[in-house]
A = this chain, B = another copy of it.
Amino acid sequence: MNHKGLLIIVSGPSGAGKGTICKELLQRDPSILVSVSATTRQPRNGEQDGISYHFLTRDRFENMIQNNGFLEHACVYNNYYGTPKDFVVEQISSGKNVLLEIDIQGALQVKNKYPEGVFVFILPPSMKTLKTRIEGRGSETPESLKMRLSSAVSEIELIKNYDYFIVNDTVNHATDILQAIITAEKCRVNADIKEIVRRFKEETNVKTID
């Protein structure tokens, strides 16, 4: 198994179910860490700094942007949101796996800064299911529902930038596949393998096989 941890990016259109799958994954495998986002928006009732979000001032946030301190960031309704880079890089270097549940625009930014991440796209089983799921939330007007669905279709085209796709038919099955992807990726032949080859050669040289 490789020494470095994985950065697993789970992404997909709104309503595809990425949140539910990530929650199930973390319940099954508590060794996986979640990156806490930073934001400049005000904390809401019950939100804790460092747990719900890292609450930062606008100055601090913009300073971090300048210093390449985010894997991705966006400005929504005049508030910044972003994924601080240091935490992710430190945990991965120490062999931990880090999960990032993120929208598609954010995922594409992460891909630019950390292309060795494992990029997983969650697909709904069909557009019909996606429609039913978004309607079920009860928070959309007919107009905004239409917009969400049409943007989902354009977003699905961006799947070509990802490594894997999972059709979210049931949460259990989709999480099984996500776990299989993580298991497989830990066994990818990559730069780390040099260490393993070195170990075998060393073992031979020091004559432990005689």
Contact = CB atoms under 8 A, between A and B. Distances in A.
Given A149-B209, A203-B128, A209-B131, A163 B188 contact: yes
Given A180-B180, A193-B165, A209-B128, A156 B200 contact: yes
B149 A163 contact: no
Interface string A137-174: 00000000000011001001101101111110000000
A126 interface: yes
Contacts of A193: 159-160, 165
Interface string A98-124: 000000000000000000000001010
Interface of chain A, main secondary structure: helix
Interface range, A side: 35 or more
B165 A127 contact: no
Contacts of A149: 204, 209
Nearest to A206: B127
A127 B200 contact: yes
A197 interface: yes
A111 to B, nearest CB: 12
Contacts of A128: 203, 208-209
Nearest to A149: B209
A19 to B, nearest CB: 19
A64 interface: no
A40 to B, nearest CB: 34
Interface in A169-210: 176-177, 179-181, 183-185, 187-189, 193, 196-197, 200-201, 203-204, 208-209
- Going nearest first, the 6 A-B pairs with the smallest beta carbon separation are A184-B184, A180-B183, A180-B180, A181-B184, A127-B203, A164-B187
8 contacts: A126-B203, A127-B203, A150-B204, A159-B189, A159-B197, A163-B189, A177-B184, A184-B184
